[in-house]
Structure 1
Amino acid sequence: MSKQTNRAMVTVGLLAALFIGALDSTVVSTASPRIIDSLGGLSLISWIFSIYTLTTCIATPIFGKLGDLYGRKSVFAIGLGLFIVGSVLCGFAGSMTELIWYRALQGIGAGALTPVTFTIVGDLYPGKERAKVQGIFSSVWSIAGLFGPLVGGYFVDYISWRWIFFINLPVGIIAVLFIFMYYHESFEKKQKSIDYAGALTFTIGMTALLLALLTGGEEYAWTSPVIIGLFIVTVIFMALFLRIEKRAEEPMLPLSLFRTSVLTVPYILAFTTRWTVMGVTVYCALWLQDVSGYSATFAGLALMPMSIAWPVASTLSGRLMYKLGAKALIIFGSALAVAGSLLVAIMSSDSPYLIIVASLVLIGFGMGCIVTPSMVIIQGAVGFQMRSVATSTNTLMNSLGQTVSVAVFGLVFNAIVTHNTAIELALGIHYVFILMLAVAVVNLLVALFLPPSSRLLNHQQ
């Protein structure tokens, strides 16, 4: 890395970029009613979220590989540029259909923000410093989740819903300027072989899978020809993708990443931990309001301590992982997640409010103890030339965990809640919580298969 790079200023720029990407999902949720009032298209509202998830998932590993081939700086700039352009177009959208297309563009840009940002941090900071800084960056998502509804609510109530998108322009410009002015990347320029066939088959297969998961049980029955057809397309093209990756000179997603437990276990954890997060985020608020009878305000306040515990744990784990061991911290965090999920699973309609809050704090603290050490392990297990794609694969596993968990939880919930009675509603959410607990237990068992901490941390350079 060039000596002219100003790490502090680059870090500020990266934090700004990551924050607007993380903030985007929460503020859009807050503004949904006003968007419908302004643009109409109530039947299409779910697609402003679904299309963003779809394009982000597809773009993430592609941008990750491009970051290794052509350097982080240019790929980051392209991704952030697409995100900003997409944001501005969203702000000017004149119909729901236009907004959906612009959200797709925004999602493509977002596919570069998270993985390339974390990769640059991994390049800038070695060993123990990397762990501390990654802890700070990992907490951005929780902070955005905490402030997103407030920011979105302010824009919606006092200015316009369009400003939830326009605000990304000034912040994004600041991030771009900081990166271009202060980040001087040393990167060897040589002829590269691009895995076009791998990118194409991955895009088709992943698009089919995500469309099936995002529309199954909602727009189409799970047994409908459309959903079955999408799953068949997924199997065919993902099989082709794997075959291509085995032979490609520069595979888009190197299969070697999944041949060592140092990487495979953190990737599985990235997938399974997202089930716990989505189960709590979606169904705890529903339980508190529709089963326990609390107001929407109290339901939101119950989730807030989890959003505080997560960044606190992320920061602490980044500072302590070299003293206590990465494996010990991840197992500890996984055990906390199990304990919190158990408390949630045994909740009743008259459970004390503080007990519910305590269970969510346990889960939030547990997540913080898992995420930061996992990211540091992944980045330390590979060299510079594979760090970007290794990081983006972790982001992809997170996104897949989120999408698959929402689909499976919805399948379980809808199978039980057929008449929308209070008893059925409570039972449906309860079974979701039991499934969430089961996945948390699996998460803990997977964490036990991590190599010893001495081996994990020996990778860190």
Structure 2
Amino acid sequence: MTPKTNVNMVIIGLLAAMFIGALDVTIVATATPHIIADLHGVSLFSWVFAVYTLTTCVAVPIFGKLADLFGRKAVFAVGIGLFVLGSILCGAAQSMAELIWFRALQGIGAGALAPVCFTIVGDLFSGKQRGKMMGVFSSVWSVAGLLGPLIGGYFVDQVSWRWIFYINVPIGAAALLLVTVFLHQPIERRVKKVDYLGTLTFTVSLSALLYALLSGGSDHPWDSPLIIGLFAVAAVFLLLFLWIEKRAEEPMMPLSIFRIRVLNVTNVSGFLTFSITTGLTIYSPIWIQSVLGHSATSSGLIVMPMSLAWPLASNIAGRLMYRMGVKASIVFGSSLVVAGFIWLAALQMNSPYVYWIGILVVIGLGMGFVATPSTVVVQSAVGWENRGVANASSMLLRAMGQTIGIAVFGTIYNQHVTTLDSKSELAAGMHAVFLLMCAIAIANLLAVQFLPKHRELMAHQQSA
């Protein structure tokens, strides 16, 4: 007889794991000058962030499938174990090259945290409870975004930059203990067939694509043979991956899930919305500091309104989505996002600071009403055996949106800005980016209209 899961203890463990995964995205930036001064290698430092993004994106769908094959608990343990090991090694790094390699390992572990955590929540809860819990878990990212710079600043000033990595060890160990001890799920005893060829071709394709996107336009021109070659490799291996997945007995990513309309629409929406919100967090501080002339502290705090509004709306959406309708919630949130980006595109150089607060609050509220219901319907679109893959595909598309968005917005911005001394050029470059963001927000609003009606979603959820 399988022991009963202690849901409260498991949730605390999952929240702790999500917290350190989200914290690591923001906390490292605060220690940048000290890491460079200690380890040198300033020309390599951008790869401390880039390699983490690359390995996380590659690992997300792989761990999602492994969670479906071998059980959530085992894959969670492996993922957080790799993340904690990577954190220890990062804290002990003696050169920039070592730090980059250890960040790659840490990123692989991080690739298991979010998809497996959300999958376990999807297993433990259903219906309205699932919506409420997704709202709580979505709040973790915003809390980490607010606390990351504060915690990082404290460790850098009072102890050592190495503790921004070591802090993950006790929290990660506690999360591992809580989940492995208190989570009990039946595991089907059968021979597991791992899709090694699919995993290999997917890894090569996505790695080539991400490397091209992360280094194109900065380290290498977009039309350089290297970048063109990387895009070609990505395309060839993607075709190979699709060919293998059609024939694999246990495919890494079953192509059948992409015949589910709900999953396709929410993945497209996630790709679009996360591209523009990530771009917004990059360019809003630049406008505040370079165009309005505010301090670096003031520009750094400007994303706080969105970081507060997003989890607030996530929790409200988690409680109201079944009353107002899942589709209605996502459409309402997408409409708020459009309104916020229209306001953003209409900004002038002399527009007051308070306008930015209003814009970011509106967009944050909209994203809360989009992200939480979207996560819930993704989990409801498939059965237990494919829930890890479905969650992973959703998070992969969101991460890809962020990466591609940053690359595209950066290219447009650089076409307009030839000197950092000209406010008009800076404003023109960012205004061009804001117009594109507005167009993407409108495209997202049109895309979510293709979601099934609430009654159809509920009927499918009950059968999944």
Q: State the TM bucket, normalised to the shorter chain.
A: over 0.9
Q: Following TM superposition, where does structure 1 have runs of at least 4 consecutive aligned residues deviating by more than 4 angstroms?
A: none
Q: Are the counterparts in 1 of residues 80 and 113 from structure 2 also a CA contact under 8 Å? A: yes
d(CA) in 1 for partners of 2:448, 2:299: 31
Mapping of 1:63-78 within 5 angstroms? 63-78=63-78
Q: Are the counterparts in 2 of residues 221 and 227 from structure 1 also a CA contact under 8 Å? A: yes
Please give the TM-score of this superposition, normalised by the length of structure 2.
0.98
Q: Tell me the amino acid that sits aligned with residue 457 of structure 1.
A: M
Q: Are the counterparts in 2 of residues 343 and 356 from structure 1 also a CA contact under 8 Å? A: no
Match of 2:262 in 1: 262
d(CA) in 1 for partners of 2:444, 2:88: 40
How far did residue 197 of structure 1 move?
A: 0.7
Deviates most, 259-268 or 418-427 = 418-427
Deviates most, 292-301 or 217-226 = 292-301
Deviates most, 9-18 or 251-260 = 251-260
- Gaps of at least 5 residues in structure 2 are none
How far did residue 299 of structure 1 move?
A: 1.7
Please give the TM-score of this superposition, normalised by the length of structure 1.
0.99
d(CA) in 2 for partners of 1:303, 1:25: 15
Deviates most, 349-358 or 62-71 = 349-358
SS at match of 1:302: coil
Match of 1:181 in 2: 181
SS at match of 1:152: helix
Mapping of 1:216-255 within 5 angstroms? 216-255=216-255
Match of 2:85 in 1: 85
Match of 2:361 in 1: 361
d(CA) in 2 for partners of 1:302, 1:406: 19
d(CA) in 2 for partners of 1:460, 1:308: 30
Match of 2:104 in 1: 104
How far did residue 260 of structure 1 move?
A: 2.0
Deviates most, 252-261 or 237-246 = 252-261
Match of 1:6 in 2: 6
How far did residue 287 of structure 1 move?
A: 0.5
Deviations 1:57-102 (A, max 9, x none): 1111000000000000000000000000000000000000000000
Does structure 1 residue 52 correspond to structure 2 residue 78?
A: no
Q: Tell me the amino acid that sits aligned with residue 353 of structure 2.
A: Y
Match of 1:312 in 2: 312
Q: Are the counterparts in 1 of residues 309 and 365 from structure 2 also a CA contact under 8 Å? A: yes
Q: Tell me the amino acid that sits aligned with residue 278 of structure 1.
A: T
How far did residue 3 of structure 1 move?
A: 5.5
Match of 1:36 in 2: 36
- Gaps of at least 5 residues in structure 1 are none
SS at match of 1:217: coil
Match of 2:336 in 1: 336
Match of 1:447 in 2: 448
Q: Tell me the amino acid that sits aligned with residue 358 of structure 1.
A: G
How far did residue 458 of structure 1 move?
A: 2.3
d(CA) in 1 for partners of 2:172, 2:461: 31
Does structure 1 residue 199 correspond to structure 2 residue 204?
A: no
d(CA) in 2 for partners of 1:340, 1:294: 22
Deviations 1:382-421 (A, max 9, x none): 0000000100111101110010000000110111112332
Match of 2:438 in 1: 437
d(CA) in 2 for partners of 1:340, 1:230: 36
Q: Are the counterparts in 1 of residues 198 and 244 from structure 2 also a CA contact under 8 Å? A: yes
Match of 2:294 in 1: 294
d(CA) in 2 for partners of 1:216, 1:302: 29
SS at match of 1:459: helix
Does structure 1 residue 457 correspond to structure 2 residue 446?
A: no
Deviates most, 274-283 or 61-70 = 274-283
Corresponding residue pairs, total: 461
Q: Are the counterparts in 1 of residues 260 and 381 from structure 2 also a CA contact under 8 Å? A: no
Match of 1:161 in 2: 161
Q: Are the counterparts in 1 of residues 26 and 149 from structure 2 also a CA contact under 8 Å? A: yes
How far did residue 236 of structure 1 move?
A: 0.4
How far did residue 457 of structure 1 move?
A: 2.2
How far did residue 328 of structure 1 move?
A: 0.4
Q: Are the counterparts in 2 of residues 377 and 457 from structure 1 also a CA contact under 8 Å? A: no
Deviates most, 274-283 or 404-413 = 274-283
